[in-house]
Structure 1
């Protein structure tokens, strides 16, 4: 069986890095990571790029350390093929930009580039992503030009164009797009070429909160809030009639065509499910302590930013103290789904597909996942009426979202992460 192909659209970020490491630690026969497309979100996109390059730098050191100590190298996906890395959106489509550096630190990894400079490569790699030097995109790069560069292919094209390139170059419906940050890159790709975008097998989204409170406002989850217009536009592609749920704001041009070849398959992983997948400080500390003593570069790197995040959790959340402090593994859950999607224990809600829409204009409700909780009969009419403003009851309108509600690793996902990353 051929490996699953994925694109990972991300804003690293602490749990994003854990998700990337989880993907790269897979077996080559299980997963091929085609593209890492970067967006603003947790921190500015330039910091996201620095964190990804640092990750490759550390993995180079880690595999060398494992070889020297007679250990299996691991990271089969990384050793088998090089993903393209592309810089993406620096800001949302329309709203004021919001970052989550209050949680992740100004550099996205808890200040690691200052506190642990020996773990950070020099920035000699920056020219590899400078579009002014090569507006056509990718040129071959001699390995050794920058630390870790033989593990990735730098692109000088915008991330949304690389998403479209990857979908064009692979057979239709064979690539899963895992989006664990704001959906700006996806919205730009879909606006430029919706039919190419719809060649994707499915889009897996970490975002939103349906029956749980939000994490940045009482109803808003960060990724949906950070670019609500982009989220609303991507969700609209799941509708039999995308104009029925498009936001009133203009968004990128051109608009979607009146008719599309197929609806988008979108699996949403809201806070409702991701909050049930955690790793505790005690669990992490116990696993990583012997590796730190043995000199593992990866253990030292991950321990540094995990130490920051557990301290932040203690400060922000009552009850998250000592070894009981728990980090929710929001983004890695989506990556694990992409790797193990064939497991029948993954399941959407009983009411899926659901008409879930993203609020874009409310004063207090930006990024809210709006669902119709009224007990009313569905209707055939596709014209708006005074009794159904917004076509919520129409059979031919509204979004069709697969809201994921059950997983095979709930309750032990922390142990899965530790085993995959450190063996």
Structure 2
């Protein structure tokens, strides 16, 4: 069978980097990462780009180190199919800009560019993503193209549309683990092409848990609530019924009645429970780092900083008492894990769930709103319940989201070890 083809839309970010590493460590017949489209989110877009380029730089050093030490090179799909990298949205469609530097650090990776500057490439790579600089460079630019990725001068949402247009319809999955701004821009520009995607796998939102950004909202959906609301609306038989009002004039073209977006949702409800324990990471990374692995050393800097941050947060929550066991929730890697194991019968969903994202509330921006009222069936038609003045339960209205509610048996405890094994080759 040919490899699964994916686009990863991301805002690295600690767990975003782990998700990227997990995807790129796949074999060439498992996965082909066609495009990594970058968006603001955990940090500003320039730091997002620097973190991504640094990751590719470290992976090149890692494969050289493994070759010199007689180890299996790994990262086969990266070697066979170098992905395109494109820079996208710098801020939300509407509303104020919010970043998660309070958790991920001022550079998005726990200060790694300061604590381990030898792993950060010089700024000579920045011109690769600048159209004017590329035109001025002319033929000399070919000498500076990196080995393991292909930089694009197109905006990320246009590169996304180009990939979807060129690949066979229904063969490319978009894995979105940041704010959904790039996706919303792509849908606005060319909806028919955007809907050629096989599915959109989203890490975002929270259904029955508290939020991690506000009491009711998860960070990705809060960061650009308008884009989340619009992408969710594309799952509806009547998208206009759930589209939020726009102050900026952002609109979607007439929706083709025969086509709807297949959206698979990984909310905090499931991602929070899948963990990378500190001991699991250190047992794998420490000996590799001591042996000279660039990847293990690089990751150790920002993941150790993340564990320290979590110790502080847990200590504050525990009234000043030190917490012994610290774990990192694998929010974004869960989506890649799903792609790699989608045929496992252990995956469980709540199908066609009417989940809507509040884009305009003063206190509820980014909140996932779910109607939990019971439908009253009358023959083959659904009767509206008394008091349902906004027709939430009407058969032709509302969104149709596939919410993931269960993973293969044992995944909650084993995913961290599996990720470490795949990423570090141990």
> TM (normalized to structure 2)?
0.93
Write out the 4+ residue segments of structure 1 that deviate beyond 6 Å after TM superposition.
379-386
Residue 334 of structure 2 is matched in structure 1 by 333
* TM superposition shift of 1:82: 1.2
Over 3 Å counting, the alpha-carbon distance change for 1:80 and 1:140 in structure 2 is farther
1:232 matches 2:233? no
Query: 1:340-360, CA deviations, whole angstroms, 9 ceiling, x for partnerless residues?
Result: 2222212213xx210000011
Give 1:180's match in structure 2, choosing from 165, 172, 177.
Answer: 177
* TM superposition shift of 1:287: 1.4
1:281 matches 2:278? yes
SS at match of 1:164: helix
SS at match of 2:123: coil
CA distance in 2, matches of 1:386, 1:344: 39
Q: Is the 8 A contact 1:244 1:390 kept in 2?
A: no
Over 3 Å counting, the alpha-carbon distance change for 1:131 and 1:387 in structure 2 is farther
* TM superposition shift of 1:253: 4.0
CA distance in 2, matches of 1:375, 1:386: 11
CA distance in 1, matches of 2:383, 2:156: 38
Q: Is the 8 A contact 2:236 2:399 kept in 1?
A: yes
Over 3 Å counting, the alpha-carbon distance change for 1:251 and 1:348 in structure 2 is farther
Aligned counterparts, 1:3-402, within 5 A: 3-133=3-133, 142=142, 145=144, 149-250=146-247, 253-317=250-314, 318=317, 324-349=325-350, 352-377=351-376, 387-402=387-402
Q: Paired residues, what number? A: 416
1:410 matches 2:412? yes
Q: Is the 8 A contact 1:188 1:252 kept in 2?
A: no
Query: 1:300-325, CA deviations, whole angstroms, 9 ceiling, x for partnerless residues?
Result: 00000001100110111246956610
Q: Is the 8 A contact 1:228 1:358 kept in 2?
A: yes
Which protein has the bigger helix share? 2
Q: Is the 8 A contact 1:93 1:184 kept in 2?
A: yes
Q: Is the 8 A contact 1:9 1:37 kept in 2?
A: yes
Unaligned runs of 5+ in 1: none
> TM (normalized to structure 1)?
0.94
CA distance in 1, matches of 2:97, 2:158: 22
CA distance in 1, matches of 2:418, 2:197: 28
CA distance in 1, matches of 2:81, 2:365: 40
Query: 1:257-285, CA deviations, whole angstroms, 9 ceiling, x for partnerless residues?
Result: 04343110000000000011111111111
CA distance in 2, matches of 1:298, 1:394: 53
Question: Is the deviation greater in 35-44 or in 109-118?
Answer: 109-118
Q: Is the 8 A contact 1:91 1:97 kept in 2?
A: yes
CA distance in 1, matches of 2:254, 2:381: 22
Q: Is the 8 A contact 2:376 2:382 kept in 1?
A: no
Q: Is the 8 A contact 2:384 2:393 kept in 1?
A: no
CA distance in 2, matches of 1:405, 1:81: 32
Root-mean-square deviation over aligned CA pairs: 2.2
